[in-house]
Amino acid sequence: MFAPIALFELKYQLKNPVFWVVSVLFFLMTFGAVTVDEIQMGSGGNVHVNSPAAITQIHLILSVFFMFVTTAFVANVVVRDDESGFGPMVRATRVSKFNYLIARFTGAFATAALAFGCVPLAIFVGTLMPWLDPETIGPNRIEYYAQAWAFLALPNIFLTSAIFFAVATVTRSMMGSYVGVVVFLVAYLVTNGIVGSKPEYREIMAWAEPFGLAASAVATQYWTAAESNSQMVALEGALLGNRLLMIGLGLVALAFALWRFSFTQKALSSRAAARADAKLAKAAAVPPTLVQSLPPTRPAAAGSARLWSRIRFEMVQLFRSPAFFVLMIVGLFNAGGALWFFGELYGTPSRPATFALIDQLRGSFGIIPIIIAIYYAGELVWRDRQVKFHEIIDATSLPNWAYLVPKVLGLSAVLLCVLLISVVAAVLLQLLRGFDAIALGQYILWYALPFTVEMLLLAVLAVFVQALSPNKYVGWALMTVYLVAGIVLSQMGFEHPLYLYGETPRVQFSDMNADRLGGAAAWWLRLYWAGWALLLSVLAHLLWRRGNDVSLKPRLARLPGRLRGVPLLLVGAGLAGSAATGSYIYTNTNVLNEYRNRDDGEIWLADLEREYLRYERLPQPRVTNVVVTVDLKPGQRRFDATGRYTLVNDTGAPVQSLHVILGDRDTRIMKLAVPGARVERDDKRFNYTILRFATPLAPGATTTLDFVTQRWHRGFPARGQDRTLIENGTFLNNFDFAPVIGFNRQGLLTDRITRRKRGLSGELRAPKLGDAWGQRRNDLSNAPWVTSDITVITDADQTAIAPGDKLADTVSGGRRTARFVSKTPILAFFSVQSARYAEAKGEATLADGRRIPLSVFHHPDHGWNTARMISAMQKSLAYFTRNFGPYQFNHARIIEFPAYAEFAQAFAGTVPYSEGIGFLANAAEPDKIDYVTYITAHELGHQYWGHQIVPADTQGANFVTETMAQYSALMVMKQLYGPDKMRRFLKYELDNYLRNRGNEAIEELPLVKVENQGYIHYRKGSVVLYLLQDRLGEDRVNAMLADLFRRYRFSGPPFMSPQVLADGFKGLARNDQERELVSDLLERITVFDLKATGATTRQLPDGRWETRLVVDAAKYHADGKGVETAAPLADSIDVGLFTAKPGQGAFDARNVLAMTRLPVTSGKQTLVLISKVKPTVAGIDPYAKYVDRNADDNLVDVN
């Protein structure tokens, strides 16, 4: 009987519309991920869309979402008989429990596996599409698809099928099954968020994470693009164990279902039976009453009473159901899990400020209310039909709206409760962390209320769709299509909020600027969509199915005749409200502001390049002095800037024309004037102006450029609100308000795929190392050094800050005017900031004896880390002036700006610093990385690397500016915390570099030739420079750098080549071994593989301990695509003995028993170390100083 039953179930499921809807849905989702550039899953950069890595990733990710589908297939097996009324008849047959359950499960699981087969089919079909870039497609090999579907995805489908089959068997309820899905999903997300975010738990997650994503990630975590394109992930180790474990857990779930299942009818629980008996007894206790006549009817009052009765009924049904309480508990844990590790950087937590928690909740918790809204809409609409009670209810005189309204209100109440429970979780977290600045008003006004309205809009749509659908599964599928379509359409450029139902702009929160960035626009759009929701509600009411009439066609035919009276008035009100608010929104987004979608930015940049890149190398005069006044009107989000440049022709030839560009599209040029020059071309689209001199500007001659610019944000745009010019916390740089002389390629499209898509040549690369033209420019512009006079006008209650010595700060007429002058040369790169600040003050003593004031301008409630920042500035300036050279300014300032972006940036003597990182960091725990000090030291390092030494505009420029700022910060950290504390930080940097190699869009380059590749110049650069100072000597390295400062400080064209810095390191090498190491680290792409495979120890007669450490070592050179070639290794590498594992807990120098540098060559070898105390841990390169492909295996326990 097993095979016939399984086959029957398979045929039944294949005839079900759910199977075909799901198959089409997952085919389209996968097809879109392969064929639409904006939707990528597993590919990107140089990784092909059909590489084995991408195919694996697509299968694993979609198998997570597929759990909702498997439930529809397998839970239906158990519940269907009882819902149809055939349950007792089927259970009365002689079919065994095993055949009844497991055979039907087998048929349902086979159906799910077939439906998921659309995923590999869609990938294959997608690669055949003619519009795909051929360079993004690799060979189609059947083994890539077979492995991903059969060995990676099917175990996931089997596991979830078995678990939710077991849940359905126990609960005999579809609602219970779907609550089980939500519980499983939340448990997965919370566990993954808590444990998966910790690198030390990576191996545990590889075994335990149910979908194989963690195991696959561990197996491929450091793969290059070449490896991702050519290698299938090996079914071995943790990945194989994980797959077998999940299959085993699925079998356990099936065995549990078989054990718990009974053919007997499920009886009432004792509590439910007692409640039923009490209800009967209460009814029996009321004696019958005889009356002569019935009281007169009052239809209006009766209708109102019945409506409230239905509302109470729906509320009771929802709030007394076990599913509701389960969802509340699940919501609490999900929110807590999402918040627990929020804002961590380098493993260091942030203070749980309310605005930051709200942003985190909306990002990570938001999926749960969406699932609940869609799921409950289906359950509420179809519940009466499922229990065969609809004919009785539908025969009553209640109008359709009396069914509709209570269901919508009940669903809204559930959604509000779910959101409030997440608020409870957030407040509990704040209390547990000792954070007492709890802003309940922000939780309600910024989160619970607006999010409830948005979910209500979604719920109305879901109810409407269910009212039209032939069954709830089709309704759920259509809502899923709606959600996916919204994402896909917006990614493809169809993203105006007036035609994407329920769309509201992302509101960005900040303690400094509240919800002013997007808050008002979001409420206007909620009002607009509320009108449409009213229309959908009326249509749902008019199309509501009654009795056995479930066909849509006759209901649509009756619709015009029923659309009169109150329904017509409500439709008119909804349309009128949407028309009025829509007109206002359109005026804001398309009249007062220019509407731009995602594609518009790429098209604009491509057209700019086509039109003006040819002028890039045109000789232009240079700016030598800047005088500018920036008049800020924060309340209007407006500035008016006036300025004058002094220009000198140092090109050695007459200059015929002056090219001026203002790169910010929201800023208008009101005036440009150059004595003796006329406007030859005024391109308003690109803010590009060409002025032709009546008499060419002679070599050595000077002239001036006067300009007036304005930016004024009126209303709100459709998307992408300006985050720089705001009511409290304005942060502008000169490119926002001041023109640039000559064309600069910065900001143009660089991704090869995007460039080809926009009809541009394949690559736009930095000038080659040593390029003569690049040597005459610095990496910001062709203006080498300027003196500046900057005046900032703002509101009287705000503090204005710009680079330079503050010469004046006056208040008149409710306006503050501050003037900043710098006689010290600065780059033509400066900032203007304004906000209501408090100021923390300090003082630094420099190596030359000067004492300069230090300031941290911060939001009044954000004073937690100001003392740490001042201390970091003091230590940094003391180290830099002692080792590099003099500090050029009479001040150093840190200025907070809102958390709309999370970075810090160095300008001349000033460091804008995001509210979202250093100011909220909680670096009090001694075993956490103090990234506040690190970031502060890095930005102070830029006062030397980037603001005194400026490299040429060629390959390697970021090596000089960013990598050397990293080095500067590392030396401050090393001095502050000691070398034994550095492994944790270096390991974070190393992991970041290795993980991002596979995402490279063009080609990986050696450090000395880096082309603005952050994973190289920041992450790899940290590890490389730390190793170089360790091997060559910190004092010797600093002496070489001090010499560079004497030679190149404030130098002009030709600017310092990055090769000069690399040659400086090579000059410090004392032997061939060190010279080879420097070349490996700076001039080649080199990856080491250092592994400790075992360690044993024995006590010597003199009481000391001899430890024998077995290591396996290798070295590889790689090309830009990641193809590696083995190279001989012959180096001296640190080996050590310890009483605790380096980088974990409170590890410090007290745990170090022995550390020495021993010769290491390619292959296996045994190294011998002696210590006075018995070691517990031994390792090679224990502090992760080398670019090691897996630094986790450098340490081993000693036996």
Chain segment 412-456, per-residue pLDDT in tens? 888 888 888 889 989 999 998 889 899 999 999 999 999 989 988
- Using the structure block, give the residue that is written with the tokens 């055979």: 103
Query: What is d(CA 505, CA 716) in angstroms, rounded to the nearest whole number?
Result: 10
Question: Of 884, 909, 943, which residue sits at a domain end?
Answer: 943
Q: What is the pLDDT of residues 842-883, one digit of tens each?
A: 999 999 999 999 999 999 999 999 999 999 999 999 999 999
Q: Do 336 and 405 reside in the same domain of the chain?
A: yes
Q: Are residues 990 and 954 in the same domain?
A: yes
Q: What pLDDT is attached to residue 1061? A: 98
Whether 1090 shows a pLDDT value over 80: the answer reads: yes
502 in any annotated domain = yes
Q: Which of 448, 457, 456 is nearest to 361 (CA)?
A: 448
How confident is the model over 1116-1122, as a mean pLDDT? 93
Query: Do both 1041 and 1162 map to the same domain?
Result: no
pLDDT for 9: 83
844 shares a domain with 972: no
Q: What's residue 299's pLDDT?
A: 60
- 199 has a pLDDT exceeding 70: no
Q: How confident is the model at residue 155 (pLDDT cuts 50, 70, 90)?
A: very high
- Mean pLDDT for the stretch of residues 879-906: 96
pLDDT (0 to 100) of residue 387? 65
Say whether pLDDT at 267 is over 70: no
Within a domain: residue 52?
yes
Residues 1008 and 905 in one domain: no
Tens of pLDDT along 342-374? 778 887 889 999 999 998 888 777 777 887 788
Which of the two residues, 1067 and 380, has the higher pLDDT score? Answer: 1067
Confidence of residue 656 (pLDDT cuts 50, 70, 90): very high
Cα dihedral sign, 26-29-34-39: negative
**DSSP one-letter string for 691-706:** EEEEEEEPTT-EEEEE
| Residue 1054 and residue 1168 share a domain | no
Cis bond before residue 1054 (omega within 30° of 0) = yes
Pairing of strands 851-858, 514-517: unpaired
Residue 331 lies in a domain: yes
CB 646 within 8 A of CB 690: no
Taking only the tens place, the pLDDT of each residue in 999-1033 is: 888 899 999 999 999 999 999 999 999 999 999 99
The pLDDT assigned to 302 comes to 63
At 397 the pLDDT is 64
The last residue of one of the domains, among 574, 592, 610, is 592
In a domain, 351, yes or no: yes
Residues 934 and 974 in one domain: no
Residues 1004 and 1070 in one domain: yes
What is the domain-level CATH number for residue 886? 1.10.390.10
The predicted pLDDT at position 194 comes to: 66
Q: What is the total count of domains within the chain?
A: 5
pLDDT for residue 803 is more than 90:
yes
Q: What is the pLDDT of residue 295?
A: 66
Candidate from 461-475, 1029-1043, 1184-1198 with smallest mean pLDDT: 461-475
Q: What is the pLDDT of residue 77?
A: 76
Q: Work out the pLDDT band at 298, boundaries 50, 70, 90.
A: low
CA distance 569 to 968: 71
Whether 458 is covered by a domain: the verdict is yes
Cβ–Cβ under 8 Å, residues 35 and 129: yes
Residue 270: per-residue pLDDT: 64
Comparison of pLDDT for 421 and 88, the residue scoring more: 421
Q: What are 20-38's pLDDT values in tens digits? A: 888 888 898 888 888 876 6
Same domain, 1078 and 1111: no
Sign of CA dihedral 1169, 1175, 1178, 1184: negative
- 923 and 1040 in a single domain? The answer is no
Residues 6+ apart with CB under 8 A from 627: 643, 644, 788, 789
- For position 1065, what pLDDT does the model report? 98
If you average pLDDT over each of 58-72, 371-385, 1068-1082, which comes out highest?
Answer: 1068-1082
Range of weakest confidence among 297-301, 779-783, 870-874? 297-301
List, in order, residues 6 or more apart from 293 with CB less than 8 Å away.
none
* pLDDT at site 82: 61
Tens of pLDDT, residues 49-76:
999 999 999 999 999 888 888 887 887 7
Mean pLDDT to the nearest integer, 402-413: 82
Rounded distance between C-alpha atoms, residue 964 and residue 938, angstroms = 9
Once rounded to an integer, what is the mean pLDDT over residues 608-635?
96
DSSP states along 78-122 = HHHHHHHT-HHHHHTSS--HHIIIIIHHHHHHHHHHHHHTHHHHH
pLDDT at residue 391, as a whole number: 64
CATH number of the domain at 1120, please. Answer: 2.60.40
pLDDT band at residue 195, thresholds of 50, 70 and 90?
low
83 and 136 fall within a common domain: yes
pLDDT number for residue 325: 75
- pLDDT computed for residue 266 by the predictor: 58
Mean pLDDT of 392-413: 76
Quickly state the pLDDT bin for 268 (edges 50, 70, 90). Answer: low
Please give the average per-residue pLDDT across 673-692, as a whole number. 96
More confident residue, 335 or 909: 909
Residue 625 lies in a domain: no
- The residue out of 1084, 1119, 1136 marking a domain boundary is 1084
**Distance, CA of 356 to CA of 343 (rounded, Å):** 8
* pLDDT bucket at 263, cuts 50 / 70 / 90: low
- Nearest Cα neighbor of 41 from 26, 64, 24, 60 is 60
Look at residue 147 in the predicted model and tell me its pLDDT: 94
Spatial CA neighbour of 833 closest among 638, 632, 662? 632
DSSP alpha helix (H) spans, 925-1033: 931-941, 957-958, 964-977, 983-996, 1014, 1021-1032
- Host domain of residue 129: 2-264
Task: Quick: pLDDT tens for 168-188.
Answer: 888 877 777 777 887 787 778
Cβ distance 505 to 719 under 8 Å? yes
Flag the least confident range among 310-314, 477-481, 600-604, 1009-1013.
310-314
Q: What percent of the chain shows pLDDT beyond 90?
A: 60
For residue 363, the model assigns a pLDDT of 76
Least confident residue range of 299-303, 456-460, 756-760, 1032-1036:
299-303
If you average pLDDT over residues 331-350, what whole number do you get?
79
Q: Are residues 1071 and 1115 in the same domain?
A: no
Q: What is the pLDDT of residues 108-132, one digit of tens each?
A: 899 999 999 999 999 999 999 888 8
Residue 1157: closest CA among 1066, 1040, 1027, 1039: 1027
Residue 642 domain flag? no
CB 237 within 8 A of CB 252: no
Q: pLDDT-based confidence at 501, cuts 50/70/90?
A: very high
Q: Is 285 within a domain?
A: no
Enter the pTM of the model. 0.88
Convert the pLDDT of each residue in 1131-1157 to its tens digit.
999 999 999 999 888 898 999 999 999
Percentage of the chain lying above the pLDDT 70 cut: 93
